[in-house]
Amino acid sequence: MKKVFGKPKSLKDAVFHYCPGCGHSIIHRLVAEIIDELNIEEKVIGVPPAGCAVLAYDYFDIDIGESPHGRGAAVATGLKRALPDRIVFTYQGDGDIAAIGTAETIHAANRGENITVIFVNNGVYGMTGGQMAPTTIIGQISTTTPGGRNEKRDGAPIDLSEMLALTDGTVYIERTAVDTPKNIIRTKKAIKKAFRVQMAGLGFSLVEVLSPCPTNLKLSPVQANEWIGSTMTNYFPLKVIKDKVGKLGASPHLE
Amino acid sequence: MATKSKRGLIKLDAELCKGCYLCKSVCPLNLISISDRLNQKGYHPAIYIEDDIGIKEHKCKGCALCAIVCPDIAIEVYRE
């Protein structure tokens, strides 16, 4: 018997602290698999957010530079400019990137910093107990919108990826999800492409991943995944939002 | 990828399982069920029902859908 699936080697043996059914652990695994496949373990630097994924340094066997809340893109800019031969990625949640760090993110994107951003969108502030985030969808119940988000009172959900696509510096932006095996495989492809865009020095790449937060959605993990497919994707459709790169397969130096 | 004749098996680490049962929901052959026992974390882990039978009788093809959705990397997949 041949082993065809196991733990990627750039993850440590630590057990994930995430809740049952959390999308973070799946995305961690995908990033680790990509690091293994591209063989960049020695020169990749991760920048985790404030949020549930703040403990990413416990799980990844790579260099990690923690950032203040929301300032992942700014910290990554510094790391990339000081060490241009490294591959720098930030891993940020929706409260981190779309509320507290909007300014840093937009300006890093507009400058066309050669970094990769992984934007995990679960529609709530997960770590602090499920308060309304900018990406909470209309009618969604959170601890600060007990009657559901109301567009007149709370505003409409912000679509940060589409906003960033308007800036000239961004080259590759895609929105995917981790609700089904098919979408997980697509997410892996998208993140891999984003890393390769950076390795080719083409500019700012971002992958937005819709991820379930069963604990704060007050749903079972299976129901939370169904909710992403049936409800959340109406506000955040899965698609390639911007692709100035095209196919990367033709560049042999990337393989 | 697995062809029709290939058989596979999974190894499910019950102590890593947090009982989300996403694996159970995606298995096309319903080969995963829920254990009556609790693990050390206090969850009823998922169990692979072909654990005790010989490889020749396995229905599992090693498609790895369960492992792809498992958030806790509790599943390893082997194929002939």
Chain A environment of B71 (Cβ under 8 Å):
16, 18, 20-26
B55 — pLDDT class (breaks 50, 70, 90)? confident
Residue range A235-253: average pLDDT? 80
Residue of B nearest to A17 (CA): B72
Whole-Å CA distances, B30 to A97, A179, B20: 39, 19, 16
Q: Which residues of A162-218 form beta strands (DSSP E)?
A: 170-177, 204-210
Q: Is the per-residue pLDDT at A56 higher than 80?
A: yes
Backbone angles phi, psi at A78, to 5 degrees: -60, -45
Residue range A64-84, pLDDT digits in tens: 999 999 999 999 999 999 999
User: What's the CA gap between A31 and B38, in Å, rounded?
Assistant: 31
Taking residues A233-250, report their average pLDDT.
87
Is the pLDDT assigned to residue A20 strictly greater than 60? Answer: yes
- pLDDT level of residue A251 (50, 70, 90 thresholds): low
Residue B75 has pLDDT above 50, yes or no: yes
Cβ–Cβ gap A5/B75 under 8 Å: yes
Residue with tokens 């490294």: A86
Torsion angle defined by CA atoms of residues A162, A168, A170 and A171, in that order, rounded to the nearest 10 degrees: 110
Single-letter code of the amino acid located at B20:
C
Torsion sign over Cα A232, A238, A241, A244: positive
Do the chains contact at A16 and B71, CB–CB below 8 Å? yes
Arithmetic mean of pLDDT over chain A: 93
Q: Which two tokens stand for residue A96?
A: 């981190």
Tens-digit pLDDT profile for residues B32-54: 999 999 999 999 999 999 888 88
Chain B partners within 8 Å of A1 (Cβ): 8-9, 55, 78-80
Q: What pLDDT sits at residue B5?
A: 62
Chain-wide mean pLDDT for chain B? 90
Q: What is the mean pLDDT of residues A14-33?
A: 95
Q: What is the pLDDT of residues A156-169, one digit of tens each?
A: 999 999 999 999 99
Q: In 3D, which of B37, B28, B73 has the Cα closest to residue A25?
A: B73
List chain A residues with CB under 8 Å of B8.
Answer: 1, 4
Region A134-162: what's the mean pLDDT? 94
Rounded CA separation A121/A146 (Å)? 20
A252 pLDDT band, cuts 50/70/90, is very low
Q: Tell me how close the Cα of B79 comes to any Cα of chain A, in angstroms.
A: 5
Does domain B8-79 fall under CATH 1.10.260.40? My reply is no
Q: Tabulate helix, strand, coil % of chain B (nearest 5).
A: 15, 20, 65
* Amino acid B52: pLDDT: 84
Helix (H, G, I), strand (E, B) or coil at A124: strand
Q: Do A1 and B79 touch (CB under 8 A)?
A: yes
Q: What is the pLDDT of residues A187-229, one digit of tens each?
A: 999 999 999 999 999 999 999 999 999 999 999 999 999 999 9
Domains annotated for chain A, with CATH where assigned, are 23-244 (3.40.50.970)
* Confidence tier at B2 by pLDDT (50, 70, 90): very low
**H/E stretch holding A29:** helix A23-38
Say yes or no to pLDDT of A63 above 90: yes
Q: Quick one: closest CA in A to B62, which residue?
A: A4
The CA distance from A138 to A148, in Å, is 7
Work out the average pLDDT over A235-248. 90
